[in-house]
Amino acid sequence: MCTQSIPPLNLACLVGGTPVYRISDPFAPPGRGFWAKLEALNPGGIKDRAALHIVERARARGDLAPGAMIVESTSGTFGLGLALAGIVYGHPVTVVGDPGMEALIHRLLTAYGVRVDTVTEPHPVGGWQQARLDRVAALLAEHPGAYCPNQYDNPDNVDAYARLADELIEQLGHVDVLVCSVGTGGHSAGVTKALRRHNPRFSLVGVDAIGSTIFGQPSRPRLMRGLGSSVHPRNVAHEEFDEIHWVAPHEAVWACRTLASTHYVTGGWSVGAVTVVASWLARTMPADTRIAAIFPDGPARYYTTVYDDTYCAEHGLMGRPPADEPDEIKTPQEAEVSRWTRMVKR
């Protein structure tokens, strides 16, 4: 929590209060577009909010003793948030990553004083994510008193986003449609709680990665990180989603690069995927629909993937824009999707 408004500034005061930015042409014709909430402008990204709140609540409840160790599984952004929370509240932090963790994130975490423990083999069923969770369990057993924030199932990860919702209401007046990428489910659930109270006609559109099992598709190895999951986090508020879209890596790359060259704002896989969906909604819904999309982080972490021509060429991701319309399925069992696909839930 931010408790000081005069210097010296509390580090926590740098979290939140991020701007919204209008995304339009060439994603939508003149007069249409959507509002992007630029969470990259937090010191570490969107998960600074979750990490600070979870650590504050755990300390208040006595689950996390002063100076005790924090251990968590993360592919990156939440690790940056925990690094910040560890410095603010004086806790050593260990994050369990896998070989897909970008070098930039690994080095930054180390610079922020975090110990990075890397698993070397995926779990035969639950993939890298389950392998990381198993390693966290082993570390907790080795270190009595250590605390695991468990961002996948901890309801504080949802409640952490109440302020983000308040900011959107302050900035936009009201929100008709919210477009969120889904990983742990934390920010989609947390922001929706408040926005639905404020506007009963509100709808939530979830964006997942192809190959993610969150919304009932089979789990496959995935290039995209941040959004998507090979396990089923309890924080995903399934009942809140009005529709789900799955987006493929080449579609996210096209959107990120087009955003960069036309709007000087961009991010990673989740920003690209959310943009594919939010811009389609902006093109097809009534022009006065107020659409907000959450951009969880910035581009830096993706300089060796989304913004690397060699990587993109090797993975067949270059110059392949999404179709004008998504494919449609009625249930997740109807087909295994491999490109942008929509499923309406209600």
Binding residues (CB under 6 A) for ligand PLP: these are 77-78, 181-188, 226-227, 268, 270, 296-297
* Cis bond upstream, residue 326 (ω within 30): no
Residue 20: CB atoms within 10 A of its CB come to 18
Q: Please state the closest distance from residue 93 (CB atom) to ligand PLP, in A.
A: 16
Beta-sheet strands, E only, within 42-88? 70-73
Pick between residue 156 and residue 297 the one whose CB is nearest to ligand PLP. Answer: 297
Q: Please state the closest distance from residue 183 (CB atom) to ligand PLP, in A.
A: 3
> What's the distance, Cα to Cα, between the start and end of the chain in Å?
37
Pick between residue 58 and residue 189 the one whose CB is nearest to ligand PLP. Answer: 189
Nearest residue to ligand PLP on Cβ basis: 226
Pick between residue 127 and residue 226 the one whose CB is nearest to ligand PLP. Answer: 226
Pick between residue 206 and residue 322 the one whose CB is nearest to ligand PLP. Answer: 206
Measured between alpha carbons, how far is 46 from 22 in angstroms, rounded to an integer? 19
Burial class (CB in 10 A: 0-12, 13-18, 19+), 316: exposed
Q: Please state the closest distance from residue 43 (CB atom) to ligand PLP, in A.
A: 14
Under 8 Å between Cβ of 98 and 119:
yes
Q: Which of 158, 244, 155 is nearest to 204 (CA)?
A: 244
Pick between residue 32 and residue 175 the one whose CB is nearest to ligand PLP. Answer: 175
Q: Please state the closest distance from residue 188 (CB atom) to ligand PLP, in A.
A: 6
Under 8 Å between Cβ of 165 and 191:
yes
Q: Please state the closest distance from residue 306 (CB atom) to ligand PLP, in A.
A: 11
- Classified as helix, coil or strand, 299 is coil
Pick between residue 77 and residue 94 the one whose CB is nearest to ligand PLP. Answer: 77
Pick between residue 54 and residue 182 the one whose CB is nearest to ligand PLP. Answer: 182
- Classified as helix, coil or strand, 199 is coil
Q: What would the two tokens of residue 251 be?
A: 């579609």
Q: Please state the closest distance from residue 298 (CB atom) to ligand PLP, in A.
A: 9
Q: Please state the closest distance from residue 222 (CB atom) to ligand PLP, in A.
A: 13
Pick between residue 234 and residue 283 the one whose CB is nearest to ligand PLP. Answer: 234
Q: Which of 223, 226, 252, 245 is nearest to 318 (CA)?
A: 252
Output the 3-class SS for 145-163: CCECCCCCCCCHHHHCCHH
**263-296 as b/e: b if 16+ CB within 10 A:** bebbbbbbbbbbbbbbbbbbbebeeebbbbbbbb
Q: Please state the closest distance from residue 332 (CB atom) to ligand PLP, in A.
A: 18
